[in-house]
Amino acid sequence: MLGACASPSTPTPVPARVPVAPDPPKITCPAAQTAQSVDGTPTPVTFTAAVVNGQTPVTTICTPSAGSPFSVGQKTVVCNATDALQRSDSCSFVVTVLAPPKLTTTSFLSFGDSITAGEDGQNSTAPTQTLMSARFHPSVLFPSGLRYPQELQALLAGRYKTQAPTVDNQGSPGEAASDPATIKRFTALTATRRYSVALIMEGTNDLYDRDDRIFPFAIDALRSMIRDAKGRGIRPYLATIPPMNPSACVPVCRGLPWSLVSGFNDGVRTLATTEGVTLVDVYQGFNGNFALIGPDGLHPSADGYARIADLFFTAIKQTLETSSTSSVQTLHHAAAAP
């Protein structure tokens, strides 16, 4: 029982909890971005800046904004994050837009036999004459868009949109490299000064008699073509010939010299090395895949011609494409400020 002077105990008040603000916002920009303009016009570039902490809502603004078109050259992007307490953080990064790829030259001569011409390998009859004057009658060709030179031109046009590359299909069915008429035909074309590059793929018909003693004559003829082109300021590319399929015989068996192809191509590779010209190794590019050879065992299928076009395209891109780096370096000091 409480005494007369005693008073009831009073609970100690609990102080009100003061909300603790989160840490200020922290924004992190992406690494430097690189994009490619395909035709010289501004190119949209997307990116994302990451934000942590801050009092919600946190507003993020990048200038220029993600998805904006960026012109060729370099541009600094500045991103800023601001939270509900008006605290902010910023970061920046560089966007580089490369100039469209270009070729140092755009006029191509595609020289060879029926494989260059684009024979379909299933509707033509067998040759009725000797090797040196053999012609397949009739010589039925794939539609233009399925022949390797035209497919190559389409590939070049698709990549080098600010230029107009041309590939002139000068394939002659039945032609042999070792035939003296072949070098005459080649020099007549190079003498026109219409071409800056010669794509040479010859030798398949030289193997028709299945006699490897023809090798030196065919290789010498290819050497003459290379040197003629060089002498006229034309850059030669030398290709190995495709494999043959000895098991394919529709409408006739044309792959019978299959065992000579590898040895002949060894000579072609050696010639490319000794003459210092770009080798396009079609034989290796087929990788023994007979699905790329048509039903006569000699001429490529549609996919085979596409593979030849791609192999030439890759070699051209690696050797004749100008680098975009120099144009970016030129524009570096003129890049717009944030």
Residues 91 and 152 occupy one common structural domain: no
Distance CA 130, CA 140 (A): 20
130 inside domain? yes
Domain count, the chain: 2
Consecutive H or E run containing 28:
strand 26-28
Distance CA 29, CA 27 (A): 7
pLDDT of 130: 36
Domain that holds residue 207: 102-322
**pTM above the 0.85 mark?**
no
Task: Say if residue 64 is preceded by a cis peptide, omega within 30 of 0.
Answer: yes
pLDDT of 252: 83
338 inside domain? no
Residue 84: which CATH number? 2.60.40.10
Residues 169 and 41 occupy one common structural domain: no
Helix extents (H) in 105-214: 114-117, 148-159, 180-190
pLDDT of 337: 39
8 A C-beta contact, residue 200 and residue 226? yes
Residues 252 and 124 occupy one common structural domain: yes
263 inside domain? yes
State the pairing for strand pair 197-201/107-112: parallel
Residues 143 and 275 occupy one common structural domain: yes
Distances (CA, A) of 35 to 40, 42, 46: 12, 10, 10
Q: Which residues of the chain have pLDDT under 50?
A: 1-2, 126-137, 326-338
pLDDT of 135: 41
Residues 74 and 198 occupy one common structural domain: no
Q: What is the pLDDT of residues 217-230, one digit of tens each?
A: 999 999 999 999 99
pLDDT of 10: 66
pLDDT of 19: 75
Residues 159 and 125 occupy one common structural domain: yes
Q: What is the pLDDT of residues 247-276, one digit of tens each?
A: 998 888 899 999 999 999 999 999 999 999
pLDDT of 20: 82
Distance CA 296, CA 299 (A): 7
